[in-house]
Chains A and B, each alone.
Chain A
Amino acid sequence: MSTSLPPAHGGRWPSTLPDDPGLALEGLTLAERILSVKAGRRVRAGEVVVVPVDQVMMVDSIAPSALRIVEEELGGVILHPERVSVVVDHVAPASNVEVATTQQRVRGVAREHGLRLFDVGRGICHQVLIEEGLARPGWVVVGSDSHSTTYGAVCAFGTGMGATDIALAMASGRTWLRVPETVQVRLVGARPAGVSAKDVALEIVRRLTADGATYASIEILGAEAFGPGERMTLANLAVEAGAKVGLVAPDAALAERYRVPAWLTVDPDAEVARRIELDLGRLEPVVSVPFQVDNVHPVREHLGVHVDQVFVGTCTNGRLEDLHEVVRVLDGRRVADGTRLLVIPASSQVLQDALADGTIAALVAAGASVGVPGCGPCMGRHMGVLAPGEVCVSTSNRNFMGRMGSPEAHIYLASPAVAAASAAAGVVALPEAATGGAA
């Protein structure tokens, strides 16, 4: 599996956590184990704990509020500046003078406090933190972005919070959490050709529904055949079922890239609130239809819908393997007349790798517009917002009314392969290899 995910040196990211925490962790879920070790006592679902935070992440659109709260309400102290990352990705580069001024101020405060700053063009927060080794197995990572569940791809307790929680985490070095119940999702069987991690993730959301895992930890078992980037896609969409975290069970592949604490394992005797099994062999390519993410249907039921814009990118599907998939499905075809293809790599690393192996050249030759690494038009702020009546097939994660601009636009969430097939056809389409599906 091609991937842009380091460590580039080929070694493993070290662990900061003890191998023997001196606690009885038998019978506990992954989430309970992480929070027990962090809290220094055995805790179970339902308890409220206050735990040290290993990394605080904030993005450009929230950093001004969070930093203002630190300055004005919390004495201006950031306890562990080395554990704080600021990523300018939501409106990057700045779209107008006001946004530019805000970002200028954020840069100044970041410098003053010695925070780690990833500026315009470095990429999307979740991709960047994983690339930089700033989320590791067993860590607690809180981010000012709901898709902070993505860190669960490496079995970090990654969860999204608002500006005040982020400010409190920066000032105190801690956060309060209700220990979540666990919804265990076991993947079984082999994926048919043409079924992507995105299809699996959307199927999980369909099965659980948009609030089926509210406050819960989704524990994903059986993902051994999924690459590092694909696991990020799975963990990323956990929040669309309402989950607090989406933890992919550690395995040998994770241990090749990270030093995984010995206690961070799935205990078959752990008490979970709900178990579901997903037979990958029965899946087919799906789309999430406006205006709810859990409104998931087979692509074949929506073939032929005219598409004005195709957007490939975001923390869900903007990685190297996603761009490869687009080129593979386009297979030399150009984007259809009347349709725009917008490709935004998830990070500068992805962009570099995609430049080096000819992927970007192939995309541009096909008629794609390639954008600056960042969130792009995902939340409707710039770089490809939609007009009334327009239809967008997007590899992103939300299709809410008005999400990408006009409330009268329609967003269909899909895999990179379906996005590419739709760009070539000018209508919602299936890649040729995936016209079948569950019989």
Chain B
Amino acid sequence: MTPPNRVWRFGDAVTTDDMLPGKYAPLMVGEDRFHLHAFAHLRPEFAAEVRAGDMLVGGRNWGLGSSREYAPQALKILGVGAIVARSFARIHYRNLLNLGIPAFTSDALVDALAEGDRVRLELDRGRLLRFAADGAEEALPLPSVPEFLREVLAEGSVLRFYQRHGRFPGEALPD
């Protein structure tokens, strides 16, 4: 069993500029290292210390601002396992779906999770396990998601869904 992941807590109104300042935009030329600047201003230690599967917890309006997909792309490359927030900005939320980063809207989870908590996401079982210092585990239920999103999450992302089915989730096949 893999070791548990860590919870990184952020506040309200985390912008895509916070996630990745525009000056670090990837150039698609050679070896881009833009992801190493994730949260460069807000949490300079983040990119070096985050581990694959770690979970980000935000407040209200997570991901507002620029449509830049390279902001969540940086999180994807760094292996962020899921994001929980009280609410998401809409363009960013679409980008998360497209990249296949699970995003959950839940006041209960935001209230329950603390910076540095040790957790393991069990998507297929609809729950999040949290481990106390003595190893005791506690199961926190994930919020239910609408049918459209279930279809997306089952394939991993909207892009994968379209590749496989030649249509969008919930769409009848085009003529």
Contacts and interface: CB of A to CB of B under 8 A. Distances in A.
Do A and B interact with each other, yes or no?
Answer: yes
A68 interface: yes
Given A161-B94, A164-B95, A174-B168, A380 B21 contact: yes
B22 A172 contact: no
B54 interface: no
Contacts of A64: 27-28
Nearest to B174: A174
Interface string A196-226: 0000000000000011001100000000000
Given A381-B23, A381-B25, A50 B168 contact: yes
Interface stretch (A97-105, A344-352, A365-373): A97-105
Contacts of B18: 400-402
Given A48-B170, A73-B163, A161-B94, A211 B64 contact: yes
B69 A62 contact: yes
A214 B159 contact: no
Contacts of B106: none
Contact of A379 (B22, B70, B167): B22
A146 B16 CA distance: 11
A163 B69 contact: yes
B43 interface: no
A416 B27 CA distance: 33
B87 A401 contact: no
A366 B60 CA distance: 44
Interface string A273-306: 0000000000000000000100000000000000
Interface in A394-424: 398, 400-403, 405, 407
B123 interface: no
A129 to B, nearest CB: 16
Interface residues of B, number: 47
Contacts of A62: 67-69
A242 B98 contact: no
Interface in A64-80: 64-65, 68-69, 73-74
B108 interface: no
Contacts of A161: 67, 91, 94
Contact of A176 (B41, B169, B174): B169
Contacts of B64: 210-211, 242
B66 interface: yes
Contact of B17 (A69, A385, A403): A403
Nearest to B90: A215
A379 B24 CA distance: 11
A164 B159 contact: yes
Contact of B90 (A74, A214, A403): A214
Contact of B69 (A48, A65, A215): A65
B56 interface: no
A61 interface: yes
Contacts of A381: 22-23, 25
Give the 4 A-B residue pairs with the shortest CB-CB distance, closest first: A162-B69, A164-B98, A211-B61, A162-B95
Given A102-B27, A214-B90, A407-B41, 15 more contacts: A62-B69, A98-B27, A101-B29, A160-B67, A161-B94, A162-B94, A168-B98, A211-B87, A242-B64, A242-B90, A379-B22, A400-B17, A400-B18, A402-B18, A402-B41
16 contacts: A62-B67, A98-B27, A99-B27, A102-B29, A162-B69, A163-B70, A164-B99, A165-B158, A171-B162, A176-B168, A211-B61, A214-B88, A242-B64, A244-B90, A400-B15, A407-B21
Interface of B: 13, 15, 17-18, 21-23, 25-30, 41, 60-61, 64-70, 72-73, 87-92, 94-95, 98-99, 148, 157-159, 162-163, 167-171, 174
